[in-house]
């Protein structure tokens, strides 16, 4: 009798995929994000830099369950998204791609949490989260985080109502 053939499953992950990103790669990602903030703060921004910050916000949002012990929250992500949307709207109205000083605090906190996330999560988890970030970015929906949070809260409220019944 022949042994049963093994069905093809997912290939085992290599050590490289189970560990966090190399420090040089983490520094590169962090530097690009922080430089985008500096450029937008200094009235030297453009749409691509705003998009880099937006993806940082989205990555932090989708990784909140992984980074709960940090000072990151849904509200911080929503505030950062509102700041970036306001900047994009000002640019669409003809102003420079720039952030006001009062708008930068939320983005600084996002980038601090984003840096920790990128430095500590395994590469396989970051790749999975990045797929979610791409879905947010490609959705074409204005303020996708606000919409996602509204749906989450609606779902939670429905679950609480069903539990109470």
Q: What is the pLDDT of residues 56-78, one digit of tens each?
A: 999 999 999 887 666 689 999 99
CA of residue 137 relative to chain centroid, distance: 10
The answer to the question of residue 153 being in a domain is yes
pLDDT of the residue at 7: 57
What is the Cβ-side half-sphere exposure of residue 140, based on CA atoms within 13 angstroms? 0
Please check whether residue 103 lies inside any domain of the structure: yes
User: What gap in Å lies between CA 99 and CA 43, rounded to an integer?
Assistant: 7
Looking from the CA of 106 toward its CB, the CA atoms found within 13 Å total 20
- Model pLDDT, residue 162: 57
The verdict on residue 1 lying in a domain is no
Residue 2 placed within a domain = no
Segments forming the whole domain that contains residue 84: 20-164
Summarize pLDDT for 112-160 with one digit per residue, the tens: 999 999 999 999 999 999 999 998 888 878 788 888 888 888 888 876 6
What is the pLDDT, as a whole number, of residue 2? 60
The tally of domains found in the chain comes to 1
């Amino acid at each position: 009798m022949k042994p049963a053939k093994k069905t093809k499953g997912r290939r085992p992950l290599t050590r490289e995929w189970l560990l966090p990103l190399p420090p040089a790669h983490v520094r590169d990602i962090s530097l690009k994000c922080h430089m985008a903030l500096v450029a937008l703060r200094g009235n030297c921004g453009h749409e691509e830099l705003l998009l880099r910050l937006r993806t940082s916000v989205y990555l932090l949002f989708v990784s909140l369950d992984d980074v709960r012990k940090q000072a990151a929250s849904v509200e911080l992500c929503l505030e950062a998204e509102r700041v970036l949307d306001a900047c994009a709207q000002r640019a669409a109205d003809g102003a420079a791609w720039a952030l006001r000083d009062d708008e930068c605090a939320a983005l600084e906190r996002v980038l601090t949490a984003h840096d920790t996330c990128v430095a500590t999560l395994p590469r396989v988890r970051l790749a999975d989260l990045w797929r979610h970030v791409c879905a947010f970015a490609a959705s074409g929906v204005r303020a996708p985080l606000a919409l996602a949070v509204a749906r989450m809260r609606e779902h939670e409220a429905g679950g609480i109502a069903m539990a109470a019944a």
